[in-house]
C-alpha cells in the first residue's frame, strides 16, 4: 500500500481516502463491485451492521462512505472517512488513530463466518447492487450518459458499468466472493491518503498497525488504451416515456492526463462547453433557447469527451446542427481572445479552489498516481496560463465525434436520425 499524507491545519477534520484499483474486466467487474457493499456491513470487531454504524456515530458522527467508478481502463473502489479533529471536542481517544484503525479493518478484516463472508450480508448486498443497477434508468440524465458511453465503447471493457453486470450477480455466493476479494487485495493498486493535522511518520505507524494486507509491492496503474473515433459517427436513438429528449454525444481524443498537450485540451473543453460562457451554453441555450443545460465534460484518463443536453424532442435536428457547428468552429480555430481568457480564468479558479477541499486535493493528487504524472496545482496553473490559441486548435484536431445518442419519447413521430 502506498501512503500519501497532505498535512494541513486548515480543516476541522481528518479526511481519509483509500483507492483500490484493478483492470476493468468482464469476469471480475461484478464481484469487485459487490465487495465494498459487503465490507460496509461489518468488521471483525463490529460484525453486526448496527454496531458498525454505532461505532461511526460514537466517533462523533464520522462520515463513512464508498464510491465505485471507472478511471481509464480500471475499476476503482474508493473508501472515504471524514471525521472531526479531536481539538474541537473533549475526547480521550486519538480520533485519527481510531479512524485509520477503522478503515484498516473495513478493508482487511471483514466480518466472517466459517472462513468466508457472511452469507446473509452477501445476499442482501446482491439485492442492493441489483437495485442500484436497475435504478440508473430512473435518472434520465445519468442513464443517457451511461448509454452513450456504452454504445461508444461497445467493444471495450469500458462499456461495463462500474456497478457490474446484472446477469452475473446471481451466480456469486459468499465463498466465491471471498476468494475474489482475497485475489483483489493481493493484485490491486492500493493507495491511502490522509489529509489533516498529521505527519507521514504518524500515518505510517498507524497504517502499519491497522492494515493486514498480503505481502508484496502494490501494483501500479498502466496507461489506458486511447482508441480512434469511428470513421463515420454512429447515431443511436432509444425510446422511453420521457417528457424531455436527452441528446448526448461521445467524442474521443488521444490526449491523456499525462500528455504535454493536456492543458490545451482542458482549455479546448472549457471554450467548448464546461462553463456558462462556453459555446454550447451560449449557442444552444442562450441564443436558441433550446435547452436548460448544454455542456461538455472531459475524462482525461480514458480520452473521452462527452456532451449532454436536455431538449424538446422536436428540436433534435436543430440541436445536433448547432452542436456540430460548435465542434467545427473549434477545429477551425474560431474562438476569440475573450473566450480564451475567460476559460483560462475559470480553469485557474477551479485549480485554486480545490485547495480548500481535503477530498478534492486528494482526488487531484490521485490523478498523478493513475496516470504516472507528477502535476502539482502550481505547475498545472502555469501550464494552463501558457496555452496559446494554436495549441487549442491543434488539440481540436485530435478530438473526433464518435457517437450521437438520443433518448426520446415513445410517440411515433419521425426523427431525422
Partner 1 sequence: MPKEHYAQLQETLLHEKLDNGLDVFILPKPGFTKAYATFATHYGSVDNRFKREGHEEVKVPDGIAHFLEHKMFEEPEGDIFATFSSQGASANAFTSFDRTVYLFSATESIERNVETLLDFVQNPYFTDANVEKEKGIIVQEINMYRDNADWRVYFGLIEALYVNHPVHIDIAGTPDSVRSITKEMLYECYRTFYHPSNMTLFLVGGVDPEAMMEIIKANQARKKFEPGGRIERYFDEEPETVRTPLLTTNLPVSLPKCMFGYKETPGPQRGEEAIRRELATKLMLESLLGASSPLYQELYDDNLISDGFGHEYNTGPGYAFSVIGGETRDPDELIARVTGALNEAAKSGIDEAVFERTRRKRIGSYLRMLNSPEAIASEFTRYRSRGGDLFELIGLYESLTLEELNARLREHVHPSRMSASIVRGE
| Beta-ladder partners of 258 | none
3-state DSSP assignment of residue 3: strand
Helix (H) or strand (E) holding 204: helix 200-210
Helices 174-187, 119-135: axis angle to 10 degrees equals: 80
Nearest distance in Å: CB 11, partner 1: 5
Nearer to partner 1, 122 or 291 (CB): 291
Q: Which residues contact 254 (CB under 8 A, 6 or more apart)?
A: 226, 228, 303, 398
Q: Read off φ and ψ for residue 125, nearest 5 degrees.
A: -75, -25
CB of 385 to partner 1, least distance (A): 11
381 Cβ contact partners less than 8 Å away, ≥ 6 residues apart: 348, 351, 352
Q: Give the Cα-Cα-Cα angle 221, 223, 225 (nearest 5 degrees).
A: 135
The residue among 148 and 189 lying less far from partner 1, judged by its C-beta, is 148
90: Cβ–Cβ under 8 A, 6 or more apart, which residues?
none
Closest distance of CB 197 from partner 1, Å: 12
CA-to-CA distance for 30 and 126, rounded, in angstroms? 10
Q: What angle do CA 144, 145, 148 make, to 5 degrees?
A: 80
- Measured from the CB atom, the residue of 121 and 211 that comes closer to partner 1 is 121
Closer Cβ to partner 1, 58 or 209, answer by number? 58
List residues near partner 1 by CB under 8 A.
8-13, 49-50, 53-54, 56-63, 82-84, 88-89, 124, 127-128, 131-132, 134-135, 137-141, 240-244, 275-277, 281-282, 285-286, 289-293, 310-312, 338, 341-343, 345-346, 348-350, 352-353, 355-358
- 8 A C-beta contact, residue 400 and residue 228: yes
**Shortest Cβ 59–partner 1 spacing (Å):** 8
Q: Looking at beta carbons only, is 34 or 259 nearer to partner 1? A: 34
Kindly tell me which of 127 and 205 has the beta carbon lying closer to partner 1. 127
Q: How far is the CB of 408 from partner 1 (least distance, A)?
A: 12
User: Shortest Cβ distance from residue 203 to partner 1 (Å)?
Assistant: 20
- Are the C-beta atoms of 100 and 206 separated by less than 8 Å? yes
The dihedrals phi and psi of 105, each to the nearest 5 degrees, come to: -70, -40
Give 162 or 369: the residue with its C-beta nearer to partner 1: 162
Query: What is the Cα–Cα distance from 38 to 44, expressed in whole angstroms?
Result: 13
Classify strands 399-408 and 13-23 as parallel, antiparallel or unpaired: unpaired
CA distances from 230 to 183, 227, 400 (A): 36, 9, 8
Least separation in angstroms between CB 213 and partner 1: 27
Q: Which is nearer to partner 1, 348 or 391 (CB)?
A: 348
Q: How far is the CB of 16 from partner 1 (least distance, A)?
A: 13
Amino acid at each position: 500500500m502506498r501512503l500519501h499524507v497532505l498535512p494541513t491545519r486548515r480543516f476541522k477534520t481528518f479526511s481519509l481516502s483509500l483507492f483500490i484499483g484493478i483492470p476493468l474486466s468482464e469476469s471480475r467487474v461484478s464481484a469487485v463491485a459487490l465487495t465494498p457493499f459487503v465490507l460496509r456491513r461489518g468488521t471483525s470487531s463490529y460484525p453486526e451492521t448496527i454496531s458498525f454504524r454505532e461505532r461511526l456515530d460514537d466517533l462523533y458522527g464520522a462520515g463513512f462512505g464508498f464510491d465505485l467508478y471507472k478511471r481509464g481502463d480500471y475499476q476503482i473502489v474508493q473508501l472515504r472517512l471524514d471525521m472531526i479533529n479531536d481539538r474541537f471536542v473533549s475526547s480521550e481517544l486519538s480520533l485519527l488513530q481510531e479512524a485509520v484503525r477503522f478503515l484498516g479493518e473495513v478493508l482487511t478484516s471483514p466480518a466472517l463466518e466459517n472462513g468466508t463472508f457472511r452469507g446473509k450480508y452477501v445476499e442482501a448486498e446482491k439485492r442492493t447492487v441489483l437495485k442500484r443497477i436497475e435504478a440508473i434508468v430512473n435518472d434520465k440524465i445519468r442513464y443517457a450518459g451511461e448509454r452513450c458511453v456504452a454504445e461508444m465503447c461497445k467493444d471495450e471493457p469500458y462499456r461495463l458499468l462500474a456497478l457490474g453486470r446484472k446477469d452475473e450477480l446471481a451466480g456469486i455466493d459468499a465463498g466465491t466472493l471471498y476468494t475474489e476479494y482475497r485475489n483483489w487485495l493481493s493484485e490491486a493498486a492500493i493507495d491511502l491518503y490522509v489529509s489533516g493535522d498529521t505527519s507521514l511518520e504518524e500515518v505510517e505507524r498507524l497504517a502499519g498497525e491497522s492494515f493486514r494486507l498480503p505481502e508484496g509491492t502494490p501494483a501500479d496503474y498502466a496507461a489506458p488504451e486511447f482508441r480512434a473515433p469511428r470513421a463515420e459517427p454512429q447515431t443511436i436513438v432509444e425510446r422511453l416515456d420521457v417528457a424531455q429528449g436527452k441528446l448526448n454525444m461521445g467524442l474521443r481524443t488521444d490526449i491523456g492526463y499525462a500528455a504535454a498537450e493536456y492543458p490545451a485540451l482542458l482549455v479546448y473543453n472549457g471554450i467548448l462547453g464546461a462553463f456558462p460562457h462556453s459555446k454550447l451554453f451560449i449557442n444552444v441555450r442562450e441564443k436558441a433557447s433550446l435547452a436548460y443545460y448544454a455542456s461538455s465534460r472531459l475524462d482525461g484518463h480514458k480520452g473521452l469527451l462527452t456532451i449532454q443536453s436536455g431538449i424538446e424532442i422536436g428540436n433534435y435536428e436543430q440541436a445536433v446542427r448547432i452542436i456540430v457547428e460548435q465542434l467545427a468552429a473549434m477545429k477551425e480555430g474560431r474562438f476569440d481572445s475573450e473566450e480564451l481568457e475567460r476559460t483560462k480564468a475559470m480553469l485557474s479558479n477551479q485549480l485554486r479552489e480545490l485547495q480548500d477541499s481535503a477530498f478534492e486535493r486528494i482526488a487531484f493528487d490521485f490523478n498523478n498516481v493513475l496516470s504516472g504524472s507528477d502535476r502539482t496545482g502550481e505547475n498545472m496553473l502555469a501550464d494552463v496560463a501558457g496555452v496559446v490559441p494554436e495549441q487549442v486548435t491543434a488539440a481540436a484536431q485530435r478530438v473526433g465525434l464518435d457517437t450521437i445518442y438520443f433518448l426520446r419519447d415513445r410517440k411515433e413521430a419521425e426523427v431525422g436520425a
